[in-house]
Amino acid sequence: MPAPDRLDVTLRLVRNAGRASLADLAGRLGVSEMTVRRDLDALQERGLVERVRGGAVAVAEPETAAGFAARADWQAGVKDRLGRAVADLVEPGSTVLLDAGTTTVHVARHLAARTAAGEGPLTVATLSLPVAAALADRPGIRLLVVGGESRPGEQSLSGPLTAAVLRTLTFDLFVMSIGAVSAESGWSEFTLEDAAVKQVALGQARSSLVVADASKLGVRAFAAVAPLGAVGRLVTDSSARDPQLSPAAQDTLAALDTAAVEVVCA
């Protein structure tokens, strides 16, 4: 797993738990405790966590210090490739729901480029304020911003209002971002609020795909979203086929195959 990707996941695991031990992080990430120590030291140097004996604790204002802006530039090249691959899978004339997350911003930019080139109109609803900004006033895009509470630092929409609005809509495709996926836990997220919104969105879409880099493979987050088979396709990066992946990641790929989830590597 590339170090920037692993830092992203480690950061969110610590932030979600408030305090995380070396042993727990190593188990969830499928890496050695020595690797976790190095990653936590790197995150502490950036002011994103505080190292303590045997692990780390979240900083005083984790949503602001470690939110969307802190992650937006990490592995931007990989995220852009994923965004292009997902956009290429969207049928012209369809109605799409784009989840929140740093990668879905890249999906939005490539969708806007396609419609600007005359590849057919799209109706796009989104749970992300940065995605909404990327699609506003773009030719060929009918934009719907799903209501709800904006999470500080994350620029995403969640909560009961978001879920209520989603239940009044239907979509041809839900493009879901995810914090973690494992053979044992299926698709999972770092907060209950995110998991709850994704569960509703999955139920309102005719089909769904997950876009996530390979660092999420084999990781177990806090809140279950859905079993593996609830999603038809995973779009991830080419490192998912690296034979040096952790055993947990390899087990997850095998479980995805068993669940008939198509894995597309970009």
Hey, where are the domains in the chain?
3-66, 76-265
The predicted structure's pLDDT at residue 73: 54
Task: Measure the CA–CA gap between 179 and 188, rounded to whole angstroms.
Answer: 6
Contacts of 204 (CB under 8 A, 6+ apart): 97, 166, 167, 169, 170, 171, 174
Judge contact between 179 and 216, C-beta under 8 A: yes
Domains 3-66 and 76-265 share a fold: no
Give residue 134's pLDDT band: very low, low, confident or very high (50, 70, 90).
Answer: very high
Tokens representing 35 are 């690797």
**Listed residue (128, 240, 177) closest to 12, CA to CA:** 177
Q: Give me the DSSP letters along 27-66.
A: HHHTS-HHHHHHHHHHHHHTTSEEEETTEEEE-SSHHHHT
For 265, phi and psi rounded to 5 degrees? -105, 130
Judge contact between 165 and 146, C-beta under 8 A: yes
The predicted structure's pLDDT at residue 65: 40
Return the C-alpha torsion angle 96, 164, 155, 26, nearest 10. Answer: -90
Mean pLDDT of 82-111: 96
Mean pLDDT of 180-192: 92
Contacts of 141 (CB under 8 A, 6+ apart): 111, 112, 115, 121, 122, 124, 135
- pLDDT (tens digit per residue) in 145-162: 998 998 876 789 999 999
Average pLDDT along the chain: 88
The predicted structure's pLDDT at residue 254: 96
The predicted structure's pLDDT at residue 29: 79
Does residue 221 surpass a pLDDT of 80?
Answer: yes
Give residue 1's pLDDT band: very low, low, confident or very high (50, 70, 90).
Answer: low
CATH class of the 76-265 domain in this structure: alpha beta
* 246 or 175, higher pLDDT: 175
For 124, the 3-state DSSP assignment is strand
Task: Measure the CA–CA gap between 61 and 68, rounded to whole angstroms.
Answer: 13
Does residue 141 surpass a pLDDT of 90?
Answer: yes
Architecture of domain 3-66: Orthogonal Bundle (1.10)
Mean pLDDT of 228-242: 92
For 162, the 3-state DSSP assignment is helix
Does residue 58 surpass a pLDDT of 90?
Answer: no
Give residue 7's pLDDT band: very low, low, confident or very high (50, 70, 90).
Answer: confident
Give residue 60's pLDDT band: very low, low, confident or very high (50, 70, 90).
Answer: low
Q: Indicate the pTM of the whole model.
A: 0.78
**Listed residue (177, 166, 152) closest to 86, CA to CA:** 177
Does residue 164 surpass a pLDDT of 90?
Answer: yes
Lowest mean pLDDT of 12-26, 56-70, 105-119, 190-204, name the range: 56-70
Tokens representing 235 are 């779009």
- pLDDT (tens digit per residue) in 34-43: 999 999 998 8
Give residue 215's pLDDT band: very low, low, confident or very high (50, 70, 90).
Answer: confident
pLDDT > 90: percent of the chain: 59
Give residue 24's pLDDT band: very low, low, confident or very high (50, 70, 90).
Answer: confident
State how far the alpha carbon of 41 is from the alpha carbons of 57, 60, 216, 241, in Å.
12, 17, 21, 28
Does residue 64 surpass a pLDDT of 50?
Answer: no
Does residue 62 surpass a pLDDT of 50?
Answer: no
Tokens representing 140 are 């060929």
- pLDDT (tens digit per residue) in 11-22: 877 876 778 899
